Amino acid sequence: MTTPCASAHPEGLAGVVRGFTPNWFAATMGTGILALLLPHVPVPGAALLGEGLWWMNMAVFAVFTGLSVARLALYPHESRATLVHPVQSMFLGALPMGLATLINGLIVYGVPRWGAGAAWLARDLWAFDALLSVLVGLLVPYVMFTRQDHALERMTGVWLLPVVASEVAAASAGLIAPHLSEHAAAPLVYAGYVLFALSVPLALMLIAVLILRLAQHGLPTPDLAVSMFLPLGPLATGALALLQLGDAAPRVLAAQGLGALAPTLTGMGLVGGLVLWGFGGWWLALATMTTLHVLRRGLPFNLGWWGLTFPLGVYAAATFSLGALTHLNVFSTLGHVLVTALTALWTLVTVRTVRGACSGHLFAAALLPREQGLPATVPGPLPHAS
């Protein structure tokens, strides 16, 4: 038996499995971050809607994981082609980042409903997610250097996806730690700063190279135009990680007799968070202007459009965290504006994704160059549908 969407594909469910690629997990990232932000909105029922989205996202993540495992088992050739593909392989970072939004939901929604047990479950799942983030952040660049063919003029923001997963895990550590005992929270706080170090410096280096690429070779092609928003992700998540770790660290340090260091980490969270948040605001404005510039020439829909949602969402989360720390209403007001924009974008991209999936276009267009008889190192576009 096949679903209506699967039956729309010329090859049925087999075609859906064969054409399923890691960039689908970007949908769980965008949906997950919206679910986590809705409780900040002062609208009746917003938190309940957010919890519903969180449950829905868990179901979607489970389906996507099942499709990935099925593709790996049934179509090993296509799976290997994904690993060496210079664009699709970058989206392997979306797996741990999508999972992180589910883990964070255990804190936002699970703890109020089920108590401390939800926090301990989040801690255990976080350990797996952190390990997966580190592996992706190391192995994908290794494959880039040894098996793929890249050039400066073909570089886009998708290069950031494998390395940014570690700082997403760092931010999750800062969110989970306050709900654990001091002894259990300590490994998360210390690991959080290490994960930050494994991601943010690399992301800043890549952003510097990306600016050089944009200055020398201009904007990406229209099918990759929305990738301009991706650098906002590591900037916003880096700010969020510093703020949340800075909030969680004092209790841990005090329990270890290191309480004198607590103001340093809290201050580092505020200053570092503000610096990265400010840089993120500049990039958000730049990405918006360049995307509108490309929009005049036509902006084809593809799964890369989900790259609009998660970066904007974590920037909103960092904005709310700054508001909570500084008690400045401007951050809270701006956060509400960002969540409103995110909700509109999520609705648009979700509708277009469901339409493209049910028509079969998003799966049929996902064939990688190697699957089409071309060299695996030829950079192909993201799957797209008209």
Mean pLDDT score of the chain: 90
If one compares 26 and 2, the residue with the highest pLDDT of the two is 26
pLDDT in tens, 319-352: 999 999 999 999 999 999 999 999 999 999 999 9
Q: How confident is the model at residue 1 (pLDDT cuts 50, 70, 90)?
A: very low
Supply the DSSP string of 325-368, one letter for each residue.
Answer: HH--HHHHHHHHHHHHHHHHHHHHHHHHHHHHHHHTHHHHTT--
Average pLDDT over residues 242-268: 94
Q: Tell me: pLDDT of 377 over 50.
A: no
pLDDT in tens, 97-125: 999 999 999 999 999 999 999 999 999 99
Interatomic CA distance for residues 173 and 100, integer angstroms: 10
If one compares 367 and 163, the residue with the highest pLDDT of the two is 163
Average pLDDT over residues 234-255: 96
Q: Tell me: pLDDT of 251 over 50.
A: yes
Q: What is the pTM of this model?
A: 0.91
Q: Are 81 and 370 in contact (CB under 8 A)?
A: yes
Q: Which two tokens stand for residue 275?
A: 């610096």
The answer as to CATH 1.50.10.150 being correct for domain 11-372 is yes
Domain regions of the chain by residue span: 11-372
Q: Tell which residue, 78, 7, 126, has the closest CA to residue 369.
A: 78
Q: Which two tokens stand for residue 356?
A: 């493209």
Q: Tell me: pLDDT of 292 over 70.
A: yes
